[in-house]
A and B are shown apart, each in its own frame.
Chain A
């Protein structure tokens, strides 16, 4: 099971956090900091797995991460998940984001938190992998966007925007 999915940048600023087990808000922030601390001090070209921090369950859990440009994508998983499988999943996630946002960059994640959550929701649900087929994921996201657009046109009134 996936316990948490965290995305933060090279400075440790969180860009997305999704916990599939309940922690207090304080603990969640501490976990993000702890995880950043563990992951960021690692060299490039070392392996992509390490034991989880104490807050998220220590050596019972693994952190599996990838570093893309300015962002770290970290999945915290228990022993029932395949390490390489999760690496693939991160790749699928990033490729999907890339397709949805056209050359995704950190700013897209900042300004479209809701969209990123939606895309992630199509892949992972309640800590389990829902779908790994990128085309399927994109189809779902597309249809949601269409619905959204048809509705947004009616409601959007730039006048009162602020």
Chain B
């Protein structure tokens, strides 16, 4: 007899469903449903009490309507009422409604819990099961709170029926999943483990699932389950196929339970007890042997069930990774499956081999299947399988086969399914970088990637190729040549234009000797793509153009003409217009020296995790990629020393590339504050230019010149005049001149004091008479917290008595990417020569770091400028004519002798620049008073440039000989 006879259905329900099915349109269907909803609502609200049958019928209708995708906002109360009925039919339909329609945070939970509680204590197994099902299916926190104590009790009670035990085990599992804190381990844990010995295989199955989950969280509490599971598995595996009667599925003994037991064993390392270990090995061998036996049935279900167990056994072997013979057998078995006619098996074999590839013992064995896997990539009809083949190729790749695998992936990419192209692009990019021995191959590969699948090449990929080219001198010329050739194609992808623009802008000079790629040819080639590109790419090209002006003075005119054209200068896009205006201006005004400094070649990028790898991890979820990666890294340590090929010497110049303020543009404005005071976004730019996605960040990285684009106002002449070679030089020479960084701060108060790969120290100072305040900004460039961070300032004698320096205390930790500010108060007691030293100590990655930097507190900081007229100046000049009061220095100019620059420096030095005092207009004179706590020292200075000889004569007169000498020394170094 069939379990459900077709005659006993509810006619009203059948009619309703038929009506719906006959509806010709969506509108008609909605109309019919609304009619029915109104009908049911009125029935529920009506005075007449509905009988159980009617309630059931209406609830079934609601379920059907819900399944069609319509919201059900009533009937819940009726369903809850059904729960307390004594009739099975009503109770059952009530529970069904609740487990389908009630979500975990319903207001009704308390009422429902009440009904469940009654059913749990009813001792009626059917009702208990309904209640347990409901708890497991809804699984809310309130339910966990209410029943966390009851369910374990029911599970281990001696008199509980088997079917209830099964439900209780899974119910407990669900509660543990949703609210682990509410389900404490207790005396029941030991008894749960013994359920593995239960007579009833259904109970064992449920218990195995429960124990597997619990063991993952508390392995120690469930250790004893290993021996029981091995014993149980052994009995199943060695049983005749008829022993287990109903649990034999198509001639396979209890396949589901076997799989679950093998999963449980994967929570633990190989058993230590030799006997248990031997028994387990025997089981695994038996399972492997059975795979070779002729099938007992031709039905697909038979082989399915058999192989389900086999694959799980192989997973366990791989997990244990300890028995070389078993591993080799597993690998051979998977190798057979790779060529099996059943697609499912090929799929699973590829998947399992991925994990096998990361095992020491079997990596080589897996590699022998490379041709089969490549063939799968080419011939499989199913994208799911091809995707696994890509994964496996990625996993089995090492130095020996990288070229072959990358080539195959590239050629597959031409026809690959759109859904997996981006992933393949990332994988190819990673492999090409990781296993590149010669970087010309790497560059070729990435350019091919862009050619074949440009749309799928994300920013991370092309950023990365640029990072690598910039960091590796040996490949720059080749890269320039290759992109130049690639750009010749009549249609090339915009990503190629970006890479091409960037690389030619940096290294175009390396191929300019060849008349076929002369500067003008290069420029014309790039510019021919300009009009087809999007705004960010055009912005990048403009930066490339200004770089060309620096690299190739001969094309300056051509480029200026382009920049000057209306389509640039009046471009509707603000960024493009601004770049055009500023670059044009820069090219007209700045001397070649300035250009050379501003547009210098990009400094190497600091080493960091490949942004591509990070992206792949994001894309594939945390679980999938790292496994392979971690394992690979270990292997690489000996096989391939090249994982850290992007290592660069610590180079602070990076800061110059991205921190606009270092250029000291004009008077203090919000836009040109010190780098440490920058908003966090800009600060992080310093650190990770390339992981920002915004075009702005790309633009900032696009050229060292980009910072010029920062001031929003049109660039006026006097704005430019303040870009002194000195301040540019500063940006250039930050090169961690740790010994004497103070030089560059003599004429300015803000800037980067020190930088290495971990830490950047920025400064901002204010002085007033004999007092000063210094803001020191410690920027953590890493993503890891600095611990035990401490600073101290040391003043050696005689400085200690001449200068008071009081640092304020700072927090002992600096978060990754964060900035810490320290205030140092300074008082000048008397004139001084030496520099105070700032010691910094912190722990990074467990290693104590020590850094010592001289603080740029110099005597001239305590200047107050003094304005005076010519007559007064000469009068005082004469008063200070004693031989020891005057100090004179004649020296050769170290920088270009630009009048405006010199003026800016003298003002920066702290004195008032006096116009019209010296009869010779090309000379500079200044006056000021040095304030110390004890005294004030008036100072006069005169600087006479001799442009023909490229020499200066500097004369200082003050009332104190030591001051004269010190100031003369300080200032002489600035020109």
Interface residues of chain A, those whose CB is within 8 Å of chain B, are 1, 14-18, 20, 22, 25, 29, 42-43, 45-51, 58-60, 79-80, 82-85, 87-89, 91-92, 99-102, 108, 110-115, 117-118, 121, 125-136, 138, 140-145, 147-149, 151-152, 155-158, 160-162
Contacts and interface: CB of A to CB of B under 8 A. Distances in A.
B202 A84 contact: no
Interface string B92-133: 110010001001100000000000000000000010000011
30 contacts: A1-B177, A14-B67, A14-B68, A18-B100, A25-B71, A46-B343, A47-B384, A47-B385, A49-B347, A59-B621, A80-B212, A80-B263, A82-B312, A83-B308, A83-B344, A84-B344, A85-B259, A111-B14, A113-B64, A125-B132, A125-B133, A125-B170, A126-B133, A126-B135, A129-B209, A129-B256, A133-B202, A134-B246, A155-B53, A160-B54
A33 B279 CA distance: 48
Contact of B92 (A85, A118, A138, A140): A118
B748 interface: no
B623 interface: yes
B249 interface: yes
B745 interface: no
Contacts of A143: 126
Contacts of A14: 67-69
A155 B17 contact: no
B9 A128 contact: no
Given A112-B4, A118-B92, A152-B8, A85 B255 contact: yes
A100 B104 contact: no
A114 B93 contact: yes
Contact of B166 (A58, A84, A130): A130
Nearest to A32: B69
Given A85-B308, A147-B89, A162-B15, A121 B382 contact: no
Contacts of B2: 99-102
B343 A45 contact: yes
Interface in B54-96: 54, 57, 60, 63-64, 66-69, 71, 87-89, 92-93, 96
Contact of A144 (B92, B255, B382): B92
A4 B943 CA distance: 84
B249 A88 contact: yes
B684 interface: no
B174 interface: yes
B516 interface: no
B205 interface: yes
Interface string B1-35: 01110101111111101000100000000000000
Contacts of B259: 82, 85
Contacts of B67: 14-17, 113
B3 A142 contact: yes
B269 interface: no
B624 interface: yes
B580 to A, nearest CB: 42
B343 A84 contact: no
Contacts of A110: 17, 21
B315 to A, nearest CB: 9
Contact of A148 (B66, B88, B263): B88
Nearest to B54: A160
Contacts of A49: 344, 347-348, 384
B749 to A, nearest CB: 53
B179 to A, nearest CB: 13
B163 interface: yes
Contacts of B68: 14
A127 B13 CA distance: 29
A130 B170 contact: yes
Contacts of A142: 3
Contacts of A133: 201-202, 246-247
A114 B301 contact: no
B256 A128 contact: no
Contact of B343 (A47, A101, A121, A157): A47
Given A84-B304, A102-B2, A161-B12, 10 more contacts: A16-B67, A47-B385, A79-B623, A82-B312, A108-B6, A126-B173, A136-B202, A147-B88, A148-B89, A161-B57
A126 B137 contact: yes
A138 B3 contact: yes
A91 B301 CA distance: 8
Interface of B: prevailing SS:
helix
Contact of B60 (A16, A25, A113, A161): A113
Contacts of A43: 381-382
Interface in B189-211: 201-202, 205-206, 209
A51 B384 CA distance: 8
Contacts of A141: 3-4
B10 A161 contact: yes
Contacts of A118: 92, 96
B4 A145 contact: yes
B208 to A, nearest CB: 10
Nearest to B166: A130
Interface of B: 2-4, 6, 8-15, 17, 21, 51-54, 57, 60, 63-64, 66-69, 71, 87-89, 92-93, 96, 100, 103-104, 126, 132-133, 135-137, 139, 163, 166-167, 170-171, 173-174, 177, 201-202, 205-206, 209, 212, 246-247, 249, 255-257, 259, 263, 301, 304-305, 307-308, 311-312, 343-344, 346-348, 381-382, 384-385, 387, 620-621, 623-624
B344 A100 contact: no
B256 A46 contact: no
A131 B71 CA distance: 32
A102 to B, nearest CB: 4
B95 to A, nearest CB: 9
A92 B52 CA distance: 32
Given A87-B304, A126-B170, A47 B346 contact: yes
Nearest to B384: A50
A51 B64 CA distance: 29
A145 B96 CA distance: 15
Contacts of B71: 25
Contacts of A102: 2, 6
Contact of A149 (B8, B9, B104): B8
A152 B89 contact: yes
Given A22-B103, A59-B620, A130-B170, A47 B382 contact: yes
A111 B21 CA distance: 11
A128 B170 contact: yes
A151 B347 contact: no
6 nearest interchain CB pairs?
A126-B136, A84-B308, A46-B382, A126-B174, A155-B53, A47-B343
A87 B64 CA distance: 27
B202 A130 contact: yes
A103 to B, nearest CB: 9
Contacts of A161: 10-12, 57
A48 B301 CA distance: 13
B202 A152 contact: no
A42 B103 CA distance: 33
Contacts of B132: 125
Nearest to B72: A25
B173 A128 contact: yes
A48 B177 CA distance: 28
B8 A85 contact: no
A85, A111, A158 — which one has the most chain B CB atoms within 10 A of its CB?
A85
Nearest to A100: B3
B52 A155 contact: yes
Nearest to A50: B384
B87 A151 contact: yes
Given A128-B173, A128-B206, A85 B256 contact: yes
A102 B3 CA distance: 8
Contacts of B247: 132-133
A68 to B, nearest CB: 13
Contacts of A125: 132-133, 136-137, 167, 170-171, 174
A82, A127, A134, A149 — which one has the most chain B CB atoms within 10 A of its CB?
A82
A138 to B, nearest CB: 6
